[in-house]
Amino acid sequence: MKLYTINTGFFKLDGGAMFGVVPKTIWNKLNQADENNLCTWAMRCLLIEDGNKLILIDNGIGDKQNEKFFSHYHLHGEDSLDKSLALHGFSRADITDVFLTHLHFDHCGGSIVRQGEKLIPAFSNATYWSNEDHWKWATQPNDREKASFLKENILPIQQSGQLKFMAFSSSPKGEGFEELSINNTTIIDALKVRTVYGHTDAMMLPQIQYKEHTIVYMADLLPAAAHIPIPYIMAYDMFPLTTLQEKKSFLQEAAQHNHILFFEHDPAIECCTVQQTDKGIRVKDSMKLNEI
Q: Domain residue spans in the chain?
A: 2-220
167 — pLDDT class (breaks 50, 70, 90): confident
Angle at which helix 151-159 crosses helix 132-139, to 10 degrees, equals: 130
- Cα–Cα dist 213/279, whole Å: 26
> pLDDT tens-digit profile of 214-247?
999 999 999 999 999 999 999 999 999 999 999 9
> pLDDT tens-digit profile of 170-213?
544 544 444 433 334 478 989 999 999 999 999 999 999 999 99
Give the model's pLDDT for residue 169: 59
Average pLDDT over residues 156-178: 74
Cβ neighbours of 200 (radius 10 Å): 25
Give the model's pLDDT for residue 187: 87
Give the model's pLDDT for residue 173: 53
77 — pLDDT class (breaks 50, 70, 90): very high
Give the model's pLDDT for residue 126: 98
Dump strand ranges (E) for the chain: 2-14, 38-50, 53-57, 97-99, 112-115, 118-121, 127-131, 163-166, 191-196, 203-210, 213-217, 260-262, 271-277, 280-287
Least confident of 17-21, 66-70, 78-82, 186-190: 186-190
45 — pLDDT class (breaks 50, 70, 90): very high
For the cut 90, the answer to whether the pLDDT of residue 141 exceeds it is yes
Least confident of 26-40, 184-198, 271-285: 184-198
Whether CATH 3.40.50.2300 fits 2-220: no
Give the model's pLDDT for residue 177: 42
Query: Cα–Cα distances in Å, from 101 out to 37, 86, 119, 196, 235?
Result: 28, 23, 21, 10, 19
Look at residues 217, 220, 219, 216 and name the one whose alpha carbon lies nearest to residue 237: 220
β-bridge partners, 74: none
CA 50 to the chain's CA centroid = 20
Q: Are strands 127-131 and 118-121 parallel, antiparallel or unpaired?
A: unpaired
CB contact at 8 A, 39 and 31: yes
267 — pLDDT class (breaks 50, 70, 90): very high
Dump strand ranges (E) for 76-200: 97-99, 112-115, 118-121, 127-131, 163-166, 191-196
Q: Which residues of 253-270 are buried (b: 16+ CB within 10 A; e: fewer)?
A: ebbeeebbbbbbbbeebb
For the cut 70, the answer to whether the pLDDT of residue 81 exceeds it is yes
